[in-house]
Structure 1
Amino acid sequence: MALRPNRWPRPLSGGWEKKVINAETRVCCLIGDPVAHSLSPLVHNRGYQARGLDYVYLAFRVKEAAPAIAAMRTLGITGMSVTIPHKTTALACVDELDAEAKEIGAINTIVNRGGHLKGYNTDYDAALKALSEKTPLRGKKTVILGAGATALTIALALKHRGSRVVILGRAPAKAAALAARIGAEGSGGFDRFSEIGDADILTNATPVGMWPKVDELSVPASYLHPKLVVFDVIYRPRTTRLLAEAKKAGCKVVYGHKMFLYQAARQFELFTGHTAPLVQMGQALTRALKGDEGVTISDRR
């Protein structure tokens, strides 16, 4: 397996283009497939620049997680972000899991401390923070679309905050298994969109709305209502078709880039031991997303 950088982050004025990499530079990276349009390198490198840290962050398209994670020890890689399809398989490749990652059964972050690899899931707190900015969570009925690792992470986070969670998935059996695992209020297939009728929060944790499905909806717009808070975990495009329809229906919306920024900030702190410069990282992200408005290429970290 060859590790190869996929794309350098876009230059920032007075920033990345002046970075000099030397023998002491600490390396952090992203592994996944695909990673070609990830904004993680841009956001992390902007953070290192803002804090004056001798770090660099790269993206690697990786088919198999295990050899790449093992290379953290041999190459001295300080931190690694893990994205689809490796969030679950990476579990077996680390020495230790934090409590949330262990419960979720998926990681998106690995920290190397002297060859000891510890896995974390920074999506958990990031999702809570993004949603909490728009709505209280305790006692609220939340319908989550999707039954994968991201859906599980958000479902657990909301359940722990006292939300009433319903899982709807394309495969009803998978949704039922996830619901049983976390003690959700209910589950079903995509023939049960009527659950949204009395819901307070709707979360899209499916890839519908990302390229190449940017014109598709994960749920028919007719189910959206003004009392609903609609959260789409997709951050590119910034305004997905679902969020556009939600706005038309009078819903409050939560953009996926908020969750992306908060999980990246937590990774930054785990990798470096420094407080994340959230303002500068957020400005870099916002600038990049504005720069490709109308571009129909999207990606998860």
Structure 2
Amino acid sequence: MKPPIGRDTRLCMSLAARPGNFGSRFHNRLYERLGLDYVYKAFTTDDLGGAVRGIRALGIRGCAVSMPFKEAVIPLLDALAGSAAAINSVNTIVNDGGRLTGYNTDYSAVRDLLDQAAVDPALPFALRGSGGMAKAVAAALRDRGHRAGTIVARNADAGAALADEYGFAWQAEVTDDAALLINATPIGMTGGDQDALAFPMSLIERCAVAFEVVALPPETPFLRAARAARKVTVAGADVAVLQALEQFVLYTGVRPGADDVAHAAAFARGEID
């Protein structure tokens, strides 16, 4: 049984431009089921430096980091774990006695899901995006042995730099067919361009695998179109679960069982009460 909130309760949090409820519901439900004296709260901020100083000053145990803070937060930390240093992007901060270390659990989640879907590294891909999440995806693709791919990004500097770093091509707009389509932008996200398709329907109809990184809503226009076209799909909601699970382990030192994770994920998605 979870203890009542008191002076010894440990606080975890998240920082995002558009905070959602998934992380709060997922972590807090696991705290309840496992009887851990923690509480989790989502925040946004216009003062990233002040927020990070608050994590340190108030002894906040951990902080999830989402767009647009994944790269901007790096100079404010004391150290980077290998997962974050390798791609220069942070989605998780762990506070050990005032020392803040950045991690990246997006990378492992993306790689695991590509493996679970048995996506052939020989498939040519188009990855839309050039931010922190796109870096995690590009690194996972490279490390799985994908070689034929294109970074699709309107920001020429960021897109070309990401492509050069991982050995891929770059285009401002997707123009060629790709067997594997991956969206790592806010296109389709709740509160953003939520009605827009990340890729033209003609390309979706000709692809083999559609990978949506956006987690909210659980079914974006891109994912819905790919499923209607009977493509193999990987959902952003699954990315959210796997990366949140690894954050939970980093914060608490406890790895929940599969049943607890499945229950917390279903609760976070609003599928159960």
60-69 vs 164-173, greater mean Cα deviation: 164-173
Superposed CA offset, 1:20-55 (max 9, x none):
2011111111122221x3311100111112221111
CA–CA distance in structure 1, aligned partners of residues 29 and 61 of structure 2:
17
Say yes or no: does 1:27 pair with 2:8.
Answer: no
Superposed CA offset, 1:185-205 (max 9, x none):
x11121x33142xx2x21111
Please name the residue that 1:295 is paired with: none
Contact 2:152–2:159 at 8 Å: present in 1 too?
A: yes
Please name the residue that 2:78 is paired with: 95
Choose from 43, 46, 55 the match for 2:38. Answer: 55
Choose from 163, 167, 181 the match for 1:202. Answer: 181
Please name the residue that 1:232 is paired with: 212
Change (3 A) 1:101 1:166: same
Contact 2:65–2:92 at 8 Å: present in 1 too?
A: yes
SS in 1 for 2:269: helix
SS in 1 for 2:73: helix
Choose from 224, 245, 261 the match for 1:281. Answer: 261
Please name the residue that 1:71 is paired with: 54
Contact 1:51–1:277 at 8 Å: present in 2 too?
A: no
CA apart distance, 1:90: 0.9
Q: How does 1:287-298 map to 2 (within 5 A)?
A: 287-290=267-270
CA–CA distance in structure 2, aligned partners of residues 29 and 22 of structure 1:
17
Contact 2:14–2:43 at 8 Å: present in 1 too?
A: yes
Change (3 A) 1:137 1:77: farther
Please name the residue that 1:12 is paired with: none
Say yes or no: does 1:105 pair with 2:88.
Answer: yes
Say yes or no: does 1:242 pair with 2:222.
Answer: yes
Unpaired runs of at least 5, structure 1: 1-14, 293-301
Change (3 A) 1:92 1:215: same
Stretches (4+) displaced over 6 A? none
Superposed CA offset, 1:106-145 (max 9, x none):
1011111111111101100011112221123433322101
SS in 2 for 1:50: helix
Please name the residue that 1:178 is paired with: 162
CA–CA distance in structure 1, aligned partners of residues 76 and 256 of structure 2:
27
Change (3 A) 1:88 1:261: same
CA–CA distance in structure 2, aligned partners of residues 216 and 280 of structure 1:
34
Choose from 221, 224, 242 the match for 1:262. Answer: 242
Please name the residue that 1:159 is paired with: 142
SS in 1 for 2:94: strand
Please name the residue that 1:193 is paired with: 175
CA apart distance, 1:275: 0.7
CA–CA distance in structure 1, aligned partners of residues 232 and 157 of structure 2:
31
Please name the residue that 1:214 is paired with: 194
212-221 vs 280-289, greater mean Cα deviation: 280-289
CA apart distance, 1:291: 5.2
Change (3 A) 1:262 1:62: same
Superposed CA offset, 1:54-95 (max 9, x none):
111111221122221122222111111111221111101111
Change (3 A) 1:187 1:100: same
Identity, % of aligned positions: 34
Unpaired runs of at least 5, structure 2: none
Say yes or no: does 1:138 pair with 2:118.
Answer: no
CA apart distance, 1:213: 2.2
Change (3 A) 1:284 1:226: farther
CA–CA distance in structure 1, aligned partners of residues 99 and 172 of structure 2:
41
Contact 1:237–1:289 at 8 Å: present in 2 too?
A: no
Which residue identity does 1:168 align to in structure 2?
Answer: V
